[in-house]
Amino acid sequence: MESLFGPNPSLPCGNQLSSPVDCSELAHQYVDANYRSCVEKLRLLLEPKGAQGGKNSAPGSPNIRSLKQPYQSSLLDPLSASAALYLLGEEKAVSPNCGPRHGSSLSRHNSVPPDSPSRSLPQFMMAADHLQTSLTLPVRQTQREQCKTTVDTLPSIVPVHTTQRELLHYIERQDALIERLEREKDTLGSQWRTLEERMAEIISENEDLRNQLMTTLAHVVSDDGKMSRSMERESLKEQQDNEESSKLLETIKCLRENLKRREEAYEDLKGESIRDSDELREAVRKAEADAKDSALEISKLSRQLDQERSEKEKAIEEVSAERRRALEDVQALTDKLEAVSRMNDQLEDDLRTLRAAKNESLDFVRQELASEKSAREKAELRLDALEADAARREKQLLQELEQVTVKFSAVMYDDALGRNSDSSREGSSSHSGRKPAGVTASTMKRMEERHQQEIRTLKESLERKHMASMRDVEELLSKQGFLMEKYKTECRQLTEQMDAASVRHREELSAVQREKTILMERVRELESIFEAHQMASMHGEMEKMSRKVNESVEREMELQKQLATLSEELDSLRASHPSD
């Protein structure tokens, strides 16, 4: 194949098929792309339907090309069409004894019998003209564009701004692509050996064609000499032979010109192919160098990826430990909150007990007040009865005193009347008559004094009883007022303590609820941070997490202090009311 494309080290010719290129996997990808492009150029030269995109094209043909292949089939169309037309014209014109090898429509329509060289001449001239006009400039331009497209449009070896997961996925895709390219390379190697055999046959046929042309030329020259010697003997035959010889000379001249043009076109094609193969070789060399650099960069990135993976695993383990500790802290806080809730229930029970005791004490005070009130009413009734009794007795004594006074005045009046009527009789018996009057007066005086003494004694006793009852009533009233004030003060104090305890309990409960909400929000934040931390760097997130954990620890300490304060207040409240 050096006659068409020149020596190309990237093509697996000869021993290169048995010994693959020793480079990295990514270098395989880069070199195999160029190798596949060159092999497909040769396939298009020899397959009549390859230039038209037939259905029977090989797996590596442009019709079944992967999306990652950098070259396009449209760039190969001028070269493939021109070369196919040239080879078909050469095969039919120079080797008429051989049948069509490819079975294309062009070879079938342009086939001529072997005994008509005049018909093969226009076909050969057409093939040569088409080769001269189509293969001089488009071949080099097409192959340069192919080389440039191959180098410029290859996918980047290592995506720089990709995540670690995408990089791993990219490496897996590249491994699968390399395996597929290895299989295609083995298939194309066998096809390449077949192409070499076919090209050797074509070259041998070209040599046979050249020998046949030289033999035909020698025979024509010898026939010309024979006709000049026999011109005098057969004039008519000579004219015919001259006409035929002139035709043959013209044919030979045309054949020589066509052969010359063909050789020039062949030399131009060979030079262009050599230059293009040199350019392709240089591009392959650069691609191999780039592949080596890319392999080094990939190994470096792989080491960095392994290091980052190990660091990420360590960071994930640390975050998991921090999360477990945070969950343990949250569980401990939850237990404490449950203990606080139980304590709150106990406080509520104590408050209900205090309210019940308060209600009982109020009922007792009300009962005592009612009893005191009834006793007071009884004392008042008794005092009224005593006052009425004293008034009645005083009235009775006054009535008795009036009766005694009336009786005494009646006696005195009767005594005066008796003295006046019996004045004569008083001479002898005056002493005896005065004596009973004197006794009666003294007796009456003593009786009056005794009666007054009894009245005074009764009044004094009544006054003493009244004063005693008044003192008792006043004492009862003072005791009642003192008890009322005492119970009111105690009730007020108990009410204030209950209100303060309930307010404090509500405040502490709301504070505990807020702390619980904050802790749950922090737990959710920790979970979200843990999930976000799996895809991001670990350093700043760890610092934030440590700060949040410290804050949660501080909150826990504050909550413990609040719980201790609450327990102390409960103990003090219970100590202040031991009876309750």
Task: Write the pLDDT tens digit of every residue in 290-305.
Answer: 767 767 777 777 787 7
> Which token pair is 466?
């009244």
- Using one digit for the tens of pLDDT, what is the confidence trace for 197-245? 777 777 777 777 777 777 776 665 555 555 445 555 566 666 666 676 6
Q: In terms of pTM, does the model score above 0.85?
A: no
Per domain, the residue ranges of the chain are: 15-318
- Using one digit for the tens of pLDDT, what is the confidence trace for 272-289? 767 766 776 776 677 677
Query: What's the Cα-to-Cα distance from 564 to each of 337, 567, 571, rounded to whole Å?
Result: 13, 5, 11
pLDDT at 453: 80
Q: Residue 316: is its pLDDT beyond 60?
A: yes
- Which residues lie below 8 Å from residue 476, measured CB to CB, with a gap of 6+? 372, 375, 376, 379
Contact 90, 127 (CB under 8 A): yes
- Using one digit for the tens of pLDDT, what is the confidence trace for 454-503? 777 877 877 787 788 778 778 877 877 787 788 778 878 877 887 887 78
Percent of the chain whose pLDDT exceeds 70 = 47
Q: How far apart are CA 188 and CA 516, in angstroms?
A: 72
- Which residues lie below 8 Å from residue 338, measured CB to CB, with a gap of 6+? none
Residue 441: band (very low, low, confident or very high) from pLDDT cuts 50, 70, 90: low
Q: DSSP 3-state assignment of 337?
A: helix
Mean pLDDT of 47-64: 41
Nearest-CA neighbor of 151 among 4, 63, 31, 26?
A: 31
